[in-house]
Chain A
Amino acid sequence: MYDFYLLDEELTPEERQIRDVVREFVRKEILPNIGEWWLKGEFPTHLIRVFGEMGLLGITTPEEYGGLGLSKRIYGIVARELEYGDSGIRSFVSVQNSLVMYPILTFGSEEQRRKYLPKLATGELVGCFGLTEADAGSDPGSMKTRARKVQGGYVLNGSKMWITNGSIADIAVVWAKDDEGVIRGFIVERDFKGFSTQDIKTKISLRASVTSELIFEDVFVPEENVLPNARGLKSPLMCLTQARYGIAWGGVGVGMAVLDEAISYAKERIVFGKPLTHYQITQEKFADMLADLTKIQLMVYRLADLMDSGRANFRHVSLAKREAVRTAKRMAEKARGILGANGITTEYHAMRHMANMEAVETYEGTYEVHTLILGEYITGVPAYRICDEEICGD
């Protein structure tokens, strides 16, 4: 595990122990099997309760709701260690923590918190997050899903696409526009009439993860399942900021995984009578990878401090998600090359990570969207909006 600038020395003894138990869990339960799960397109549902027992669900959720009340830094470390195994595994944990438990905690009523959070923390309940639609990805404000006010609640119609955990979820946190066109949040339970899901089976990325379409046909959602404190697009975007933060750490996990694997392979692999590590071209690749990894490690550690001290905003997270995932993808590609033909199999990890990074670079704000967020921050011009008269002058 490359930690060239000894950043993990910043961790407290307990934080190091948490890192070590998660690392051990990944070595024992994930790495020996992940290649097969990925090939078969299976998410290991038998591990969901184990995640709960391990304390990986509800890491930052307060203890009174069944969580552990730990820091964002620990949440990041856990995401990193899990993604060392696979992005699909980390995605499951990210969704449960950041996209389901976080909105219920932040926007939910006290009754909703008490009803759902403890069971989400144990893994007894699985959640998913329905924001993206087939035609509304980077532009979620253009969503078509509607929530019509009726007596005692709302009726939902529409569909959500590319939803992690969709078909295995017991509850879905769904975002839809009300009669006034305001985005509202709803907790839709699996057995609500008119709610169905369909898995997307043809993925060649994140294969060890469930990705589904959520379909709402006149689904009645009672008033008690409406998130009372969520209003407007800002609410789901706040959730995404939390999840994107974990993804940035996940990218570091991929970087560490592919560098570890490539180095141990290159030491053993004999080419023209000497190990691959003896060649300058290979050494240059490793130097580049170590530099890349160290840069994103430094970045996420600093971001964790900003998050924990309440000084981070969504732009800081955008930069980290954008850089960590792109860097991890580039590192995985280099590692795959070092592994030669072996690198294209699931016996090794690099290409699986590389393929995963394609999805991870697209979900939770594409590379381009984060570029535009940063572009707006730097220039003051929101380039992703359709030409604004004031700015474009026409």
Chain B
Amino acid sequence: MSVFIIRRLMQAILVVWIMSLLVYVGVHIVGDPVDMLINPEADQAEIARVIRDLGLDRPLHEQYWYFLKNALQGDLGNSFIFNEPALKLVVQRIPATFELALAALGLAVVIGIPLGVYAGLKPDSKISQTIMASSILGFSLPTFWVGLMLIMFFSVMMGWLPSFGRGDTETIFGVEFSFLTWDGLTHLFLPALNLSLFKLSLVIRLARAGTREVVHQEYIKFARAKGLSQNRIIFVHLMKNIMIPVVTVLGLEFGGLIAFSVVTETVFSWPGMGKLIIDALHNLDRPLVVAYLMVIVVLFVFINLVVDVLYSILDPRVRLRDLKG
């Protein structure tokens, strides 16, 4: 198992390095941030000074080499715009995005599994058909549009929930969380729902498919023949067995949730990483873009690792080892 983990980490380092190279070259091709940053009234000397100060007058390979040298010492450079360490800016925003993504994941599981199991147990009922039809909508409607509609209905027309932002937060261990205050919760609900819609539909479909399959298995029939209550059959024998694909997929998709939060965070002005990266991209703030993507890559690799480990715990038949040894 340790060989497996070490190998995974080596792969991660390789991915991070390739990614940094791609981003560096990519953003360089798009342009430079000087014209976004500078006051239009600045004269030629001032423009030249800014280009020099940001190191943009050097050839690209030199800039990249300089970046790599510092990166190996843990310094990803300062944001062009904020003049603060890019990594620090990204890490500061992680809690907000994580909170949002976890809330979305929670909603997807809490709402999705019961609905999916129900639809699997009674596939012909009207309610089941409605559930499955709505899940198609959840897949196909664009997130930003649904977000605006949610704001329109819940905030503007009904006035029940706030339309943007994070609300009051409570600090634990020096990190601010909004789910601990009522105001924060009301702010969290709409963006979390918006972000969860896609995953919710996915969970419903997985749970339904799993249920349809498991419900005809011998061991369910046996449990029924033994005279076990319906509840015990569903919650113990059925649930356990449909959870494996659900956990795998959700684990893999959690990274996607974090990456997808870009859209939701922009629509709801949620002060997380997604909003930061959108602004950074608009302004071609290269250090910030690189730092963000590095954090995301590391997260993805880490989540996949956790999923693999979890999987082996849930399903004793699975052993962690590399195919080629």
A-B interaction: no
